Structure 1
Amino acid sequence: MSRLTLEAASIIVDAALAQARRDGYQPLAVAVLDAGAHLVALKREDDASLMRPQIAVAKATGALGMGYGSRELAKRANAAPVFYSALFAISGGAMAPSPGGVLIRDEGGRIIGAVGISGDTGDADEACAIAGVIAAALTPDPGGAPAPQA
């Protein structure tokens, strides 16, 4: 697959939400963007708080914009706050430095999109994102290098 399809994005969203229900997490919002940062799919669970969809999109956008997952974005932002404050300003606030933004790679290792999740802890959001990408038979990349296919 050289591009992210609506079918794959829908699988990612639904599998991520199913994982969240199995694990008893708080209500989530899940956003899937293609490689150009265009929104392909978005769901907000009942009772997810007001800004969750925007945060989910920002986590995915940050991952795409920087080429590494939002966990790494948070780590780097903490280490270089002046640079990342400028970067967030330049992006118009379109990036969220918190775990839960995971790159999506195809079978050749190319980035074809990202998933962002918000609603529970960053660790829980990221775990659900990874589960969603794996369910779509794609490779999740929460860091900066291709992760092994599960």
Structure 2
Amino acid sequence: MPDLTLSAAQTLVATALQTARERDLKPLCVVVYDARGALKSLAAEDGTSLRRAEIARGKANGALALGLGSRAIAKRAEAQPEFVAAVSHLVGPDALVPVPGGVLIRDVEGRLLGAVGISGDTSDNDEICAVAGIEAAGFRAETGA
């Protein structure tokens, strides 16, 4: 079973950003963590607005912390706002952003390898770019849909 290597993380980032440019999206910030939460890669395009890295980190961290793609966390925030507020308080204000764009990375057997968080355009577009990057690196994306 493969691990999330630096090379795979760089492929993921490059493809996510390429997808954004092909779709003429706003500048993105992409963060990739391995399964233990260690930073593997971070890239911010020229023109990315302030604090996009923190938002991308929060999407990826939240996905790892709860074991759910951030789309599922967003649904849970609507259904159980007190729970998500409590978790946000426990893990810190920049460690859980409950909107789409935080996607778990799994290998073909389903083993958790890490998470990617993207911020810069709409949350749905951020998620599209994350999925494209994950799949280009040869892994499965879990958005929480």
Q: TM-score if structure 1 supplies the norm length?
A: 0.93
Shift of 1:2: 3.7
Name the residue aligned to 2:132.
131
Tell me which stretches of 4 or more aligned residues in structure 1 moved more than 3 Å: none
Name the residue aligned to 2:16.
16
What pairs up with 1:81-92 in 2 under 5 angstroms?
81-92=81-92
- Take 1:84 and 1:42, find their aligned partners in 2: how far apart are those partners? 26
Corresponding pairs, count: 144
Structure 2 counterpart of 1:25, one-letter code: L
Identity of aligned residues (%): 52
Structure 2 counterpart of 1:124, one-letter code: N
Q: What do residues 18-73 of structure 1 show as CA deviations (whole Å, max 9, x unaligned)?
A: 00000010000000000011110000000001100111111001011111100110
Name the residue aligned to 2:104.
103
Name the residue aligned to 2:47.
47
- Take 1:107 and 1:80, find their aligned partners in 2: how far apart are those partners? 32
Flag structure 2 segments of 5+ consecutive residues without an equivalent: none
Q: TM-score if structure 2 supplies the norm length?
A: 0.96
- Take 2:82 and 2:57, find their aligned partners in 1: how far apart are those partners? 23
Aligned-partner SS, 2:128: helix
What pairs up with 1:66-85 in 2 under 5 angstroms?
66-85=66-85
Shift of 1:92: 1.0
- Take 1:84 and 1:60, find their aligned partners in 2: how far apart are those partners? 15
Name the residue aligned to 1:28.
28
Flag structure 1 segments of 5+ consecutive residues without an equivalent: 145-150
Q: What do residues 67-120 of structure 1 show as CA deviations (whole Å, max 9, x unaligned)?
A: 110011011011111111111000012110010000000121101000000000
